[in-house]
């Protein structure tokens, strides 16, 4: 006999854990909470306060902060550790960071306490899974194996359990076995780049600033961490990345110093190097009968703009809002007409972001033609237009486009005390 739920979420990464916590926690203006399960074979432990900072970190936007708060996870995250960043400096290799050619954002200009937070992805995932469990979600430490959809429900099998639900949500990452089982096609593109991720110590303090340099061979970002070190994400063309991964720590640091133009003084590698071959992915449909995709299962973007998990959390909040709203109206949460509302809302938003990010990669990082040169010089020009600056800042804060309720300002009242 199958364990019955309203919703089964396949994958308890940050996005899956978030949608589960939101659905089970149901805000007061919406419907009664739903019976929710997550399938996640690799649940991370909440990191100890004195544990070294994990190598996988991400930049979380203001919108994500609000969603994490609505999901009940923000307090646990801030009680551990976060690194707010107050400024961004973005420049092209044809200019220098300290010149008028560099684009600078300052939270103070926008009347904000910061522009976002650098947080370990594992910490966010662990806090969200804890919040989901506190809201009544049941976690199965099992892998999804197969799916059978009927008019009334969807049946899900793992090696050791059988579950049934009115809706299954695929949050199982870029390779998404659920997406394949549901017959949802996706287009995958190869960027021909590898992202090298590591922690580095720098001669000069990072000044709570996220530094990003566009190079003709890729993009290099320094993200400020709470212990004074920086996390680098160096998305380099494969032919440059492979020797960098094989270089000694000293050779790597010298190459890094050249690539960042010594913006923070001499660097020293303070960790191993992780590598991620970069692919883009766009699911052709996000939904089918009784099935919806969220996060990397639906779309994968280049990490240069630090948007992947932020887009996924917006998917989670949007889908939870629409599902709870539909349930409050007595609608079937797995019905295609309900799920299509989610697809219409989020697919257009993520497509716009994906096209913009790919244009940044093509023009700012790799471009050599006249259009690319205009874009590269144009970085500094943005400083002179308050309207353009406001536009880009709103994008950086994740506060542009059509936002779900959980990402809007009123939700952040409780979280402001943690800033």
Ligand X SMILES: Cc1cc2nc3c(=O)[nH]c(=O)nc-3n(C[C@H](O)[C@H](O)[C@H](O)COP(=O)(O)OP(=O)(O)OC[C@H]3O[C@@H](n4cnc5c(N)ncnc54)[C@H](O)[C@@H]3O)c2cc1C
Residues in contact with ligand X by CB under 6 A are 10-16, 39-42, 58-59, 121, 143-144, 171-173, 177, 195, 197, 233, 276, 295-296, 303, 306-310, 312
Name the residue nearer to ligand X (CB basis): 72 or 177: 177
Name the residue nearer to ligand X (CB basis): 181 or 253: 181
Please state the closest distance from residue 138 (CB atom) to ligand X, in A. Answer: 14
Q: Could you give the CA distance from residue 300 to residue 293 in angstroms, rounded to a whole number?
A: 12
Name the residue nearer to ligand X (CB basis): 297 or 405: 297
Name the residue nearer to ligand X (CB basis): 259 or 327: 259
Name the residue nearer to ligand X (CB basis): 51 or 180: 180
Name the residue nearer to ligand X (CB basis): 213 or 380: 213
Please state the closest distance from residue 191 (CB atom) to ligand X, in A. Answer: 11
Residue 22 CA to its chain's centroid (Å): 17
Name the residue nearer to ligand X (CB basis): 101 or 191: 191
Please state the closest distance from residue 99 (CB atom) to ligand X, in A. Answer: 26
Q: What is the 3-state secondary structure (H, E, C) of the chain?
A: CCEECCEEEECCCHHHHHHHHHHHHCCCCCCCCCCEEEECCCCCCCCCCCCCCCCCEEEECHHHHHHHHHCCCHHHHHHHCCEEECEEEEEECCCCCCCCCCEEEEHHHHCCCCCEEEEEHHHHHHHHHHHHHHCCCEEECCCCCEEEECCCCEEEECCCCEEEECEEEECCCCCCHHHHHCCCCEEEEEEEEEEEEEEEEECCCCCCEEEEEEECCEEEEEEECCCCCEEEEEEEEHHHHHHHHHCCHHHHHHHHHHHCCCECECEEECCCCEEEEEEEEEECCCEECCEEECHHHCEECCHHHCCHHHHHHHHHHHHHHHHHHHHHCCCCCCCHHHHHHHHHHHHHHHHHHHHHHHHHHHHHHCCCCHHHHHHHHHHHHHHHCHHHHHHHHHHHCCCCCCCCHHHCHHHHCCHHHHC
Please state the closest distance from residue 18 (CB atom) to ligand X, in A. Answer: 8
Please state the closest distance from residue 11 (CB atom) to ligand X, in A. Answer: 3
Please state the closest distance from residue 8 (CB atom) to ligand X, in A. Answer: 10
Please state the closest distance from residue 285 (CB atom) to ligand X, in A. Answer: 17
Name the residue nearer to ligand X (CB basis): 156 or 327: 156
Please state the closest distance from residue 335 (CB atom) to ligand X, in A. Answer: 24
Give the pair of three-digit tokens for residue 136.
């009544």
Please state the closest distance from residue 57 (CB atom) to ligand X, in A. Answer: 7
Q: Could you give the CA distance from residue 207 to residue 84 in angstroms, rounded to a whole number?
A: 11
- The residues with which 91 forms a beta bridge, in sequence order, are 213
Give the pair of three-digit tokens for residue 406.
């959980």
Nearest to 62 by CA among 131, 110, 117, 15: 117
Query: What is the CB neighbour count within 10 angstroms for residue 302?
Result: 22
Q: Is 356 exposed, middle or buried (0-12, 13-18, 19+ CB in 10 A)?
A: middle
Name the residue nearer to ligand X (CB basis): 269 or 327: 269
Name the residue nearer to ligand X (CB basis): 270 or 327: 270
Please state the closest distance from residue 124 (CB atom) to ligand X, in A. Answer: 9
Please state the closest distance from residue 417 (CB atom) to ligand X, in A. Answer: 24
Name the residue nearer to ligand X (CB basis): 331 or 358: 358
């Amino acid at each position: 006999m199958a364990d019955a739920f309203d919703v089964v979420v396949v994958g308890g990464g940050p996005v899956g854990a978030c949608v589960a916590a939101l659905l089970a926690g149901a805000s007061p203006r919406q419907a009664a909470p739903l019976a929710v399960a997550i399938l996640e074979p690799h649940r991370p432990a909440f990191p100890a306060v004195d544990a070294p900072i994990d190598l996988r970190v991400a930049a979380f936007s203001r919108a994500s902060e609000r969603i994490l708060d609505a999901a009940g996870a923000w307090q646990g995250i801030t009680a551990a550790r976060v690194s707010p960043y107050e400024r961004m400096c973005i420049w092209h290799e044809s200019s220098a960071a300290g010149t008028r050619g560099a684009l600078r954002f300052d939270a103070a200009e926008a009347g904000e306490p910061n522009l976002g937070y650098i947080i370990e992805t594992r910490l966010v995932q662990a806090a969200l899974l804890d919040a989901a469990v506190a809201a009544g979600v049941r976690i199965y430490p099992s892998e999804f194996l197969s799916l059978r959809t009927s008019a009334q429900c969807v049946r899900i099998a793992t090696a050791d359990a059988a579950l049934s639900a009115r809706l299954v949500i695929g949050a199982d990452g870029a390779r998404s076995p659920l997406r394949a089982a549901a017959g949802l096609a996706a287009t995958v593109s190869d960027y021909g780049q590898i992202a090298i991720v590591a922690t580095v110590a720098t001669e000069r303090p990072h000044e709570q600033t996220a530094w990003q340099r566009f190079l003709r061979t890729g993009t290099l970002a320094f993200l400020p961490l709470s212990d004074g070190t920086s996390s680098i994400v160096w998305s380099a063309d494969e032919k440059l990345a492979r020797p960098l991964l094989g270089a000694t720590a000293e050779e790597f640091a010298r190459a890094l110093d050249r690539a960042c133009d010594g913006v923070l003084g001499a660097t020293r590698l303070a960790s191993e190097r992780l590598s991620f071959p970069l692919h883009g992915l766009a699911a052709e449909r996000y939904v089918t009968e009784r099935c919806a995709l969220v996060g990397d299962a639906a779309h994968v973007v280049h990490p240069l703009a630090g948007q992947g998990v932020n887009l996924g959390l917006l998917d989670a909040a949007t889908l939870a809002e629409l599902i709870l709203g539909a349930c409050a109206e007595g609608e079937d949460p797995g019905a295609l007409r309900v799920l299509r509302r989610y697809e219409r809302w989020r697919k257009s938003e993520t497509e716009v972001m994906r096209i913009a990010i790919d244009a940044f990669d093509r023009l700012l990082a790799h471009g050599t033609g006249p259009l690319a040169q205009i874009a590269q010089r144009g970085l500094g020009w943005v400083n002179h237009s308050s309207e353009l600056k406001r536009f880009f800042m709103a994008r950086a804060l994740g506060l542009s486009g059509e936002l779900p309720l959980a990402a809007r300002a009123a939700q952040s009242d409780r979280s402001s005390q943690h800033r």
